[in-house]
Chain A
């Protein structure tokens, strides 16, 4: 199987080369995309075969000057091939349906190369090949992000993305160098033989977190993601969010679970949990404030990557604390969520792309009521939205249930400080999940429900054919994956054994379980129970109530009907994107994202209307854009302020000193 996959990577690279002449005609572009659909299917099949069969390794006859390029297919890379294959197949199918003429070569050529880079990263078995694949993935996706370079914001997104990609690559190179040590052998087998210890382990973790974490979108290096993902064409955004972040997470998992060896202390998981919790909350909150559909979805990706990182960190901590069963539970939650998120996020991005195609806008305030004009897109997207909102019995709930069970067991690690941190992470993960539900209701409700906000949205049209299939397939998969998480966990068993060193938690076709004797979740039975309850209600109501409905104008608390020149009513009387985000902007946005609201009131006598303005800044982005001069300035001002403090502030200073010393004491005692 590995040989087939390696040949596939070569074929994709060749397809990228051939795409230059092929791009001139629609048939050629279709050929390229059809090739990518086939590649996606082969990748997913390769993943399945790798999980069912055994591991395989291969040395290519060529490679870097100092030796052959090594490739391998083991359980972990096989598992990550599944989401990659599914996302690529669906996205290419979507792109195939969207070809109506010649495609610019800068949009077509990098696409197969991008897929080849991701596949190569997953198959690599030495540091050089890994970095080659990672950089190919970064550069190809950079070209795709910059494809529409006429717009200034896209140029800015591409610039920031390039800086981050370069930074991430550099960090990974350093990590590989640190792992290789003096010998300079970059083969994974050599890494495994000499696992880093002490400060070297911590340094490798920090570098991998900076390199792979920035690619995956972990806070505080997530700022490029909401800029770059929406700037690419829709099918590329889908794969960037659905698969590329997962490839980055694969690199992270490969380093911390495999290459660094099993003999690591439990606190190595703590930074992953902390960063994951921060990413989850920031991403989910931003998704509630963004007004652009694709940016909103990109922020939701940050949230989900954060949840996966929490799972990985917990698995690492459990393994370090010698609790292999719980480690397998946490790792299972993370792996399951990798797959589930890849499927439903691909679906949602493709739906957003279809809305962009049909209604010509990404801005929520220019959409609305699309369920009437684009029913297939709407209902398919509803499946993805329900999964992203973690509603049972869909796929998102299954993996988040497992993750919460792992978090609820985190106290077994035994260290008091870790327990407290894990309790806080539990609260943050639950907060992020609930925020994601709010964001998804906002996304789907404002785009597909209500009344059209522009004439263009009122006349939106849906495409059929390949695009429709590309939407329905991941929607069906989302439902199916939600119903059989136990089966998927069984499939992931070899990968879990590799990561956690233990068998997966007891799972079968019907249920997934937290631990022996612990709680269990039976998705098929739950779905049957809810369906039976709904059926009972429908039957009872049918018996008692008159059939059918009467139609009339919306009651709307007695507001009068709109005038004739506004056939769809005044769109401004509906909740807007900013209006729907208002409660959360006030509740959490003001403290976490420096959100603000203000009324610009014209002076008396002026006839201009008063304007309510609202917005937010991600503090991470602000911190990155020229921080140093501001820090120096701020430091000087603070030092200046110290001279004339109030009584209360002086007291506060003393208080702060007391607290700091107590913290120091706690730290010293802990050692």
Chain B
């Protein structure tokens, strides 16, 4: 299976779309737009999973697709929008690293991911290798988003998009047990819930979601 074959092309395109949306997440300055981009990423991920389910003939992947669409494409974005509205947050994303530098760093990370994955997966199918490179890129971009944004909501979105990368990796590899996938998803979801609860608590205490303010309350200095 290589270029010019429809299954490969579509899978490639969907994976690329997920990665592109990771960059969109980094590029956006408005929290609403960030959430929308995240929703789109979730939807694309669901499409990718469904396509893989169709190509590999694995019905389990359809379940993954439905779950991803319901949770990441609809429910979590809606919840995040609601949180933003409820808490009446700043609508802009506060960045610790500027938009331009974080995009440059992002491209550098993608290059790094490719350089790591390709030699390590010598002998595997071309699609799996590329998918793995894409997935690792998405994971790294999610981590980059977590550390380069001040706002707690953006950090949570970074975490969730990181998890998208993990799922992308899982669906590309034929024969990954569904249990592993589901448990990963559930784990990250739990973390996200905990983070959300935390965000509420922080907000009630300090009137802000900027994690920068937490530093004043660590009791060591100042």
- Report which A residues bind B (CB closer than 8 A): 416-417, 420, 591, 643-644, 646-649, 651-652, 655, 658-659, 662-663, 665-666, 669-670
Instruction: Return the contact of B143 from the options A416, A649, A655 (Cβ within 8 A).
Output: A655
Tell me which residues across on chain A come within 8 A of B146, comparing CB atoms: 648, 651, 655
How far, in whole Å, are A658 and B111 apart by their CA atoms in the complex?
15
How far, in whole Å, are A652 and B214 apart by their CA atoms in the complex?
16
Say if the beta carbon of B221 comes within 8 Å of chain A.
yes
Q: Is the beta-carbon distance between A659 and B140 smaller than 8 angstroms?
A: yes
Query: Least Cβ distance of A271 to chain B in Å?
Result: 18
Chain A residue at minimum C-beta to C-beta distance from B109? A659
Tell me which residues across on chain A come within 8 A of B101, comparing CB atoms: 591
Q: Is the beta-carbon distance between B147 and A655 smaller than 8 angstroms?
A: yes
Extra pairs beyond A644-B218, A647-B214, A666-B115 (15, CB < 8 Å): A416-B114, A416-B118, A417-B115, A591-B98, A646-B212, A648-B146, A648-B147, A648-B150, A655-B143, A655-B147, A659-B112, A662-B113, A663-B112, A665-B116, A666-B112
List which B111-129 residues lie within 8 A (CB) of chain A.
111-116, 118-120
Q: A416-B118, A651-B146, A652-B147 are in contact. Are A591 and B100 (CB under 8 A)?
A: yes
Q: Is the beta-carbon distance between A666 and B147 smaller than 8 angstroms?
A: no
Q: Is the beta-carbon distance between A666 and B143 smaller than 8 angstroms?
A: no
Q: Which interface residue of A591, A644, A658, A659 has the most chain B CB atoms within 10 A? A: A659
How far, in whole Å, are A647 and B146 apart by their CA atoms in the complex?
11
Chain A residue at minimum C-beta to C-beta distance from B114? A416
Query: Least Cβ distance of B113 to chain A in Å?
Result: 8
Chain A residue at minimum C-beta to C-beta distance from B222? A644
Majority secondary structure of chain A interface residues (helix, strand, loop or mixed): helix
Say if the beta carbon of B88 comes within 8 Å of chain A.
no
How far, in whole Å, are A648 and B119 apart by their CA atoms in the complex?
32
Tell me which residues across on chain A come within 8 A of B144, comparing CB atoms: 655
Q: Is the beta-carbon distance between B112 and A662 smaller than 8 angstroms?
A: yes
How far, in whole Å, are A649 and B211 apart by their CA atoms in the complex?
11
Tell me which residues across on chain A come within 8 A of B113, comparing CB atoms: 662
Q: Is the beta-carbon distance between A666 and B119 smaller than 8 angstroms?
A: yes
Q: Is the beta-carbon distance between B211 and A647 smaller than 8 angstroms?
A: yes
A-B contact pairs, 24 of them (CB 8 A): A416-B115, A420-B111, A591-B98, A591-B100, A644-B218, A644-B221, A646-B211, A646-B212, A648-B96, A648-B147, A648-B150, A648-B211, A651-B146, A655-B144, A655-B146, A655-B147, A658-B143, A662-B113, A663-B112, A665-B116, A666-B116, A666-B119, A669-B116, A669-B119
Tell me which residues across on chain A come within 8 A of B100, comparing CB atoms: 591
Tell me which residues across on chain B come within 8 A of A659, comparing CB atoms: 109, 112, 140
How far, in whole Å, are A658 and B214 apart by their CA atoms in the complex?
25
List which B201-222 residues lie within 8 A (CB) of chain A.
211-212, 214-215, 218, 220-221
Tell me which residues across on chain B come within 8 A of A644, comparing CB atoms: 215, 218, 220-221
How far, in whole Å, are A416 and B116 apart by their CA atoms in the complex?
11
Tell me which residues across on chain B come within 8 A of A647, comparing CB atoms: 211, 214-215
